[in-house]
A and B are shown apart, each in its own frame.
Chain A
Amino acid sequence: NAGVTQTPKFRVLKTGQSMTLLCAQDMNHEYMYWYRQDPGMGLRLIHYSVGEGTTAKGEVPDGYNVSRLKKQNFLLGLESAAPSQTSVYFCASGRTGGGNGNEQFFGPGTRLTVL
């Protein structure tokens, strides 16, 4: 049981390049999330999904797109990377029910640098 995995672990991009971050979970969770972590700001929600084929905007969605074609995978895309997108990206998953009290399970993160 691998939990939540993310690929790649590190990536350096030049301004204007594109890339896709992959998140996979093997816990059969309905909910999946993408966060970015910046110094002094905690984690902020970029996009989330409440089930296969669904996506929704979070707090800071601009410059990112997402897709959830399979229940276990949640992809985060940067179409034209900017230096402001230099950050550590975390994927998380969680189950439904339980009101707002359910735990989220986090992946190990992807450190992205945009030059």
Chain B
Amino acid sequence: GDSVTQMEGPVTLSEEAFLTINCTYTATGYPSLFWYVQYPGEGLQLLLKATKADDKGSNKGFEATYRKETTSFHLEKGSVQVSDSAVYFCALARGGYNKLIFGAGTRLAVHP
């Protein structure tokens, strides 16, 4: 079945460091790919998405490129801030009705 695998956390960085969170997926066909973010005590919110191969999603300085050849959708940011501390979820949707399959989540802690 379809699945999403994320790098385990927590990831701890200093402010202004470069961030990469790895995400790979297993799915037949052409899923849409998403990164959702969960700030402490809140629900999830969409960070960025890509709906076809080679698309790049971007938002708030974060980027991810849909790589079908490596079945990956790695999240990157050039310079993280303390306010980026959160849990990041990679997810895919396939097969209708936008049902999401999530990775386990990666907790990011950014220190001043």
Residue of B32, B36, B98, B105 most packed against chain A (CB within 10 A): B98
Contact call B100/A43, Cβ cutoff below 8 A: yes
Contact call B97/A42, Cβ cutoff below 8 A: no
Find chain A residues with CB under 8 A from B99 CB.
Answer: 33, 45, 48, 58
Q: Report A1-12 CB contacts with B as 1/0, cut-off 8 Å.
A: 000100000000
Find chain B residues with CB under 8 A from A45 CB.
Answer: 99-101
Find chain A residues with CB under 8 A from B25 CB.
Answer: none
Contact call A100/B94, Cβ cutoff below 8 A: yes
Least CB distance from B75 to A in Å reads 15
CA distance A106 to B98 in the complex (A): 14
Least CB distance from A28 to B in Å reads 16
Find chain B residues with CB under 8 A from A33 CB.
Answer: 99-100
Which size class do B's interface residues fall under? Answer: 20 to 34
Contact call B102/A102, Cβ cutoff below 8 A: no
Least CB distance from A62 to B in Å reads 17
Closest to A108 in B: B43
Contact call B98/A42, Cβ cutoff below 8 A: no
Which size class do A's interface residues fall under? Answer: 20 to 34
Least CB distance from A29 to B in Å reads 10
Least CB distance from A51 to B in Å reads 10
Contact call A101/B44, Cβ cutoff below 8 A: no
Residue of B36, B45, B97 most packed against chain A (CB within 10 A): B97
Q: Which of A50, A100, A107 contacts B43 (CB 8 A)?
A: A107
Find chain B residues with CB under 8 A from A58 CB.
Answer: 99
- List CB contacts (< 8 Å) of A50-70 with chain B: 50, 56, 58-59
Find chain B residues with CB under 8 A from A102 CB.
Answer: 98
Contact call B43/A90, Cβ cutoff below 8 A: yes
- List CB contacts (< 8 Å) of B41-77 with chain A: 41-46, 49, 51
Binding site for B on A (CB under 8 A): 4, 31, 33, 35, 40-45, 48, 50, 56, 58-59, 90, 92, 94, 99-109
Binding site for A on B (CB under 8 A): 4, 31-32, 36, 41-46, 49, 51, 89, 93-105
8 residue pairs from A and B, CB less than 8 Å apart: A31-B98, A43-B89, A48-B97, A48-B99, A92-B43, A104-B98, A104-B100, A108-B42
